[in-house]
Copies of this chain bind each other. A is one copy, B any other.
Amino acid sequence: MTESLPLSIPAPQRTCTISEGTEELVREMLVRIGDRWSLRVIETLSEEGSFRFTRLRERLDGVSQKMLTQTLRQLERDGLVERQVFAEVPPRVDYRLTPLGEELGETLCGLWMWAERHLCDVQQAREAFDGQAAPAPRETAQAVTG
């Protein structure tokens, strides 16, 4: 298990060497894009470029106005999404991914493919876990004798 440290980081290139903050940021980003809508926003914008508010909301069928606004604000704050406001009547606002957001989307692709590869594995693991939870007290189910 020491042949490859998956989560250890080789060598930072940037001047901001904050190994501490990196873990924090990773978790923050996971939480951020793991919320109900961010991932779909990134996916949609990544595939089809620019979207205006209402059009985007239609695409993410089920999202409330508040949540879409909130989601877009958070993504914008992290520099992942860019807002372009047109001084028109009625108001028009376009949203699109920044280069930073696009790169994150590409990075997410690795996770995407992991999920695709192991979708069945996870589902089976869950079924097995849930299945053995009911019939037996599982605490002693696979107890090892020495």
Contact = CB atoms under 8 A, between A and B. Distances in A.
Contact of A146 (B31, B86, B145): B86
Contacts of A12: 106, 109, 116
Interface of A: 1, 4-9, 12-19, 21-23, 25-27, 29-31, 33-36, 39-40, 42-43, 46-49, 76-79, 83-88, 100, 102-126, 128-130, 139-146
26 contacts: A5-B46, A6-B102, A6-B105, A6-B106, A7-B46, A7-B47, A7-B108, A12-B106, A14-B47, A14-B105, A14-B120, A18-B116, A25-B115, A26-B108, A30-B33, A30-B111, A31-B31, A78-B125, A79-B121, A79-B129, A85-B140, A87-B145, A100-B121, A107-B111, A108-B111, A110-B111
